[in-house]
């Protein structure tokens, strides 16, 4: 694999994570438990979609085939998506949505902090802008996980169920492979495994405050960020997301 191929893959991983998760969060619009949450969820989705435009825009540039961020978002099929499986998991109840958000945000912020010092200036610039937004996301998702974990017995039960359900999807964020090896060698991005200890410590602290028990298993599903095997959920998301571009090819919107 060449450097540019690896770089393209890496940028798709960044952009597809924010695209797919942003899309999921946007599904809440108008249906949140309280007005302030509607506003906050829309805000999170908006930030993630904005980051997608930057990551996928740069991916298209690096690929050099004339594909725009929109082409990449709207005209690839599921096997070409490089998001982690965690991001495509369905919203479930509000607790499941916020647990997914926290597990992701906590890794996202650690990664972006490192990427702000990337040897590639364009990556560093996108990360520097995004990290400010994501610092807020993690603060909010963390507080919500704690508040609901340590709330009523029902909210506690639901948050524990969400953690149990999503835990096997967290590990994929920290696996290394050929792409990440090349990126680390070039000083563009850290090896994902290097972020694990800090993530574990932060998550441990949060779950302890939330009175939630982290499952005693390090099993991790894989196949999202390589595109080898996504879950069945992604295809349904894409049929909705890509509908207009697919149904009216070549139209400008």
Partner 1 sequence: MYAQMIKSEATQEDPEKLAAFQARIDAGEKIEPKDWMPQGYRKTLIRQIGQHAHSEIVGQLPEGNWITRAPTLERKAILLAKVQDEAGHGLYLYCAAETLGVTRDELTEMLLDGRMKYSSIFNYPTLTWADMGAVGWLVDGAAIMNQVPLQRTSFGPYSRAMIRICKEESFHQRQGYDIMMKMANGTPAQKKMAQDALNRFWYPSLMMFGPSDKESVHSEQSMAWKIKMNTNDELRQKFVDQTVPQAEYLGLTVPDENLKWNEETGHYDFSQPDWSEFFDVLKGNGPCNRERLAARNKAWDDGKWVRDGLLAHAEKKAARRVAAE
179 binds partner 1 (CB under 8 A): no
CB 38 → partner 1: shortest distance, Å? 5
Q: Quick one: 45 or 182, whose CB is closer to partner 1?
A: 45
66 binds partner 1 (CB under 8 A): no
45 binds partner 1 (CB under 8 A): yes
73 binds partner 1 (CB under 8 A): yes
244 binds partner 1 (CB under 8 A): yes
60 binds partner 1 (CB under 8 A): no
CB 165 → partner 1: shortest distance, Å? 17
CB 111 → partner 1: shortest distance, Å? 21
Contacting range for partner 1; rule: CB under 8 A; set: 67-75, 82-90, 119-127, 175-183:
67-75
Tokens at residue 205, please?
A: 């602290």
43 binds partner 1 (CB under 8 A): yes
SS (H, E, C) the chain: CCHHHHHHHHHHHHHHHHHHHHHHHHCCCCCCCCHHHHHHHHHHHHHHHHHHHHHHHHHHHHHCCCCCHHHHHHCCCHHHCCCCHHHHCCCCCHHHHHHHHHHHHHHHHHHHHHHCCCCCHHHHHHHHHHHHHHHHHHHHHHHHHHHHHCCCHHHHHHHHHHHHHHHHHCHHHHCCCHHHHHHHHCCCCCCHHHHHHHHHHHHHHHHHHCCCCCCCCCCCCCCCCCCCCCCHHHHHHHHHHCHHHHHCCCCCC
- Which of residues 112, 115, 146, 189 is near partner 1 by CB under 8 A? 146
Kindly list the residues in this chain that would bind partner 1 in the complex (CB under 8 A).
Answer: 19, 23, 26-27, 29-39, 42-43, 45-46, 49-50, 52-53, 56, 69-70, 73-74, 93-95, 144, 146-148, 150-152, 154-156, 158, 240-241, 243-245, 248, 250-253
């Amino acid at each position: 694999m060449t450097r540019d191929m690896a770089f393209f893959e890496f940028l798709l991983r960044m952009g597809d994570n924010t695209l797919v998760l942003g899309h999921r969060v946007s599904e809440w619009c108008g249906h949140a438990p309280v007005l302030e949450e509607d506003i906050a969820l829309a805000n999170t989705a908006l930030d993630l979609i904005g980051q997608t435009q930057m990551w996928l825009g740069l991916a298209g540039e690096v690929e050099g085939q004339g594909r725009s961020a929109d082409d990449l978002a709207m005209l690839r099929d599921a096997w070409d998506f490089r998001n982690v499986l965690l991001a495509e998991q369905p919203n479930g109840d509000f607790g499941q949505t916020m647990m997914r958000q926290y597990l992701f945000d906590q890794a996202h912020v650690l990664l972006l902090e490192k990427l702000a010092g990337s040897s590639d200036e364009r990556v560093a610039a996108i990360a520097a802008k995004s990290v400010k937004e994501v610092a807020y996301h993690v603060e909010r998702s963390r507080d919500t996980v704690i508040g609901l974990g340590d709330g009523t017995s029902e909210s506690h039960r639901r948050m524990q169920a969400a953690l149990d359900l999503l835990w096997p999807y967290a590990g994929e964020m920290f696996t290394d492979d050929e792409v990440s090896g090349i990126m680390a060698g070039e000083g563009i991005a850290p090896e994902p495994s290097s972020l694990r200890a800090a993530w574990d410590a932060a998550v441990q602290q949060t779950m302890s405050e939330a009175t939630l028990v982290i499952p005693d298993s390090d099993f991790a599903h894989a196949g999202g960020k390589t595109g080898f095997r996504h879950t069945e959920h992604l295809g349904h998301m894409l049929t909705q997301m890509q509908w207009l571009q697919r149904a009216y090819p070549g139209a400008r919107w």
